[in-house]
């Protein structure tokens, strides 16, 4: 293996060691945040079940998601979620509900680092 290939493999390993646990934690945080939604208060629902969405913007306690269907945000999420999320990370099987308090995640698949 060339030195360049070895360096590339080392970089990938370092990124995976850092990003995979963070993506798993983010998946859990977003999934658990669904419990905070009062279904009787839903004003609008957006289903991206078959879409791969991308985290497009991050602010403390808020994420924006975009896909070929458009963009949804700001989505209210736990502040810890915004500390570990990264722009460009993919998220599957998303469903959003808009309430008087803003957009919320109500369905959630997995998070994939870029």
- Residue range 56-95, pLDDT digits in tens: 999 999 999 999 999 999 999 999 999 999 999 999 999 9
CB 48 within 8 A of CB 95: yes
The continuous run of DSSP H or E covering 50 comes out as strand 44-59
Percent helix, strand, coil in the chain (nearest 5)? 40, 40, 20
Is the predicted pLDDT of residue 36 greater than 90, yes or no?
A: no
- R_g (Cα) of the chain, nearest Å: 16
Note the pLDDT of residue 6: 47
CATH of the domain at 23: 2.40.50
Mean predicted confidence (pLDDT) in 2-21: 59
Give residue 8's domain range.
3-112
Q: Is 16 helix (H, G, I), strand (E, B) or coil?
A: helix
Q: What is the domain count for the chain?
A: 1
């Amino acid at each position: 293996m060339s030195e360049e290939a070895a360096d590339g493999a080392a970089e990938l390993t370092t990124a995976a060691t850092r990003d995979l646990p963070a993506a798993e934690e983010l998946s859990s945080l977003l999934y658990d945040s669904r419990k905070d939604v009062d279904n009787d208060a839903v004003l609008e629902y957006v289903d991206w079940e078959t879409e791969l969405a991308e985290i497009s913007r991050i602010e403390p306690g808020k994420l924006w998601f975009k896909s070929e269907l458009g963009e949804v945000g700001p989505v209210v999420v736990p502040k810890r979620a915004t500390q570990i999320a990264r722009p460009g990370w993919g998220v599957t099987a998303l469903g959003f509900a808009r309430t008087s308090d803003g957009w919320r995640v109500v369905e959630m698949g997995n998070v994939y680092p870029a």
